[in-house]
Amino acid sequence: MHEHPLQRFFRSLRERPVFAWERYQLRDVLVIDHPLCQAVFSRQGAQLLHFQPAGQKPWLWCAAKWPQVGAIRGGVPVCWPWYGRHPSENAWPSHGWARLLDWKLLDSSSDEEGVRLHWQLQLCDWKVDLHAHLGQSMDLRLSTEHQDTEPCQLSQALHAYWRIGDVGEIALSGLDGAQGYDQLSRQVCQQQGELRVEGGCQRVFQHEGELQLKDHAWQRELCIDTGDHADTVVWHPGTRPLLGVSWNEVSRFVCVEAAVGGTDSLRLAPGEQAHLSLQARAAG
């Protein structure tokens, strides 16, 4: 098994504090070492890059090499205040500003159930908060408040890269019968049985409740919940090359995301809030 690149922070046998800031690949990262889990956040994007409950393999994939500037590929990028390409400004970055900017860590605490963190980003007339609860499971909640005097449009996603043994040996269950849209064929679709993604996949499903990521190579199953008011996006590039990422790395992740407004963006009135969540637990 290839080691997650951020497991390097946990090789030492010396006792670490629960929370410690480190410098890695030109970014500030918060290393979390708790009896129930190990994790790493980047200040850039408030991006959870590594999460590993005690006694388990890593749950999240992250690229070994990061660009000197720009988005980090892996973990759970916060795509905000738009998801995908901006609807009118072609020169603006894909997936918004949030994953490129430094967030403020307003609070961090630990107890016998794990750790809790509260990150915040203020951008013009927007305020967005990310609350994370990590222990034997993972719970991320994103809240946006629109503080302008005029209505606005919003789309957002928690774009999770799940670590797997091999993309050719996974299956997603729990989507049987779900209606969706295949963005590769540009056609509506309905899922029949388990979903396999080895040849590439970019599908958006209207789906509620948990789905199961069955990883036969690692003999484990993760239950992923994208919430009741979000689309479930399943993505893998297949054989399409990703800049700065080797095929050996690409075969070890699949994206299962919570997204809102990818097709029809939300319209927020002044003072209105929007919420998004992503939760995961080990089956059994």
Q: Which residues are annotated as catalytic?
A: 159, 257
In three-state secondary structure terms, 267 is strand
Q: 2 burial class (0-12, 13-18, 19+ CB within 10 angstroms)?
A: exposed
Q: Read off the amino acid at residue 8.
A: R
In whole angstroms, give the CA distance from residue 45 to residue 241: 24
Contact 180, 204 (CB under 8 A): yes
Say if residues 48 and 158 touch (Cβ distance below 8 Å): no
Is 46:121 a contact under the CB 8 Å cutoff? Answer: yes
Beta bridge partners of 284: none
β-pair partners for 206? 179, 231
CB within 8 Å of 78: residues ≥ 6 apart: 45, 46, 47, 98, 99, 128, 130, 142, 156, 157, 158, 159
User: How far is 83 from 37, CA to CA, in rounded Å?
Assistant: 30
Helix (H) or strand (E) holding 248: helix 247-250
DSSP string, 173-186: ES-TT-EEEETTTT
Report the C-alpha gap between 280 and 238 in whole angstroms: 24
